[in-house]
Amino acid sequence: MATNTDPAGRWSLVVPLKPLAYAKSRLRDALGDALRPRLALAFAEDTVAAALSCTDVRDVVVVTDDTVAADRLAALGARVVPDFPAAGLNAALAYGAGLVRAVRPSAPVAALNADLPALRPSELSRVLEFSSGFPRTFLSDAAGIGTTFLSAVAGVELLPAFGGPSRARHLASGAREVPPEGLDSVRRDVDTGNDLLVALALGVGPRTEELRDAVRLGAAPGPVAGPTRPAPTGR
């Protein structure tokens, strides 16, 4: 996973992913069951590809028990490991961080949601640059309730507390909040039909973009302010 020539300051990211059959269940009402797992995989692929394109990222570890997703994400260059704890999201993140540190003890580690299809490497780089100056940081989601990113520098435990109102829990744990301005792509996780339309308006990665026409066939929610623009190059 690491070599002795790797820059010590480059980040390892841990991305958790549920089995696709159970992922993104809140999209079922808006888009139906057939499209939901395809979108969940597309979101994860675009998230991982964008993260790996970020110059501050050394590697991405995906924790998942889904064999289809494992093959697709490994093909992008991620290290994919089974969810051996099988004890929920936070256990999976702690496990992934432990695997990173077992090989590279001085690694700065961050958890990143798998459902950020509009993720831009440049915005992620800004988050990581800010995070390098504090023991632990987090970035709230677009709603200001949850969390899409949590970091810990070398020698500091990640201590993930994702799920539900996790912003408050991460604040209470002593993590420094990343200023959210200008980081829309890193905050826009997709749980609902409206979330998806906002992500599409931001400009999503190529795998999610391929499903745009199929999304329009579903029971999509109302329009979103702002024009739709194509995904940027160099993702």
Residue that wins the pLDDT comparison between 3 and 58: 58
How many separate domains does the chain show?
1
Looking up residue 211, the CATH number of its domain turns out to be 3.90.550.10
Helix (H) or strand (E) holding 128: helix 121-131
Mean pLDDT of all residues in 91-102: 98
Residue 140 lies in a domain: yes
Binned at pLDDT 50, 70 and 90, residue 100 comes out as very high
Q: How far apart are CA 209 and CA 43, in angstroms?
A: 10
Residue 172 lies in a domain: yes
pLDDT digit string (tens) for 31-73? 878 899 999 999 999 999 999 999 999 999 999 999 999 999 9
Name the average pLDDT for the chain.
89
The answer to whether residue 6 scores a pLDDT higher than 60 is: no
Residue 4 lies in a domain: no
Sign for the CA dihedral angle at 79, 83, 85, 87 comes to positive
Residue-range definition of the domain harbouring residue 114: 11-217
Residue 118 lies in a domain: yes
The answer to whether residue 2 scores a pLDDT higher than 60 is: no
98 HSE (CA, 13 A, CB side): 12
The answer to whether residue 92 scores a pLDDT higher than 60 is: yes
CA angle 217, 188, 58 (to 5 degrees): 115
Percent residues over pLDDT 90 in the chain:
81
Residue 227 lies in a domain: no
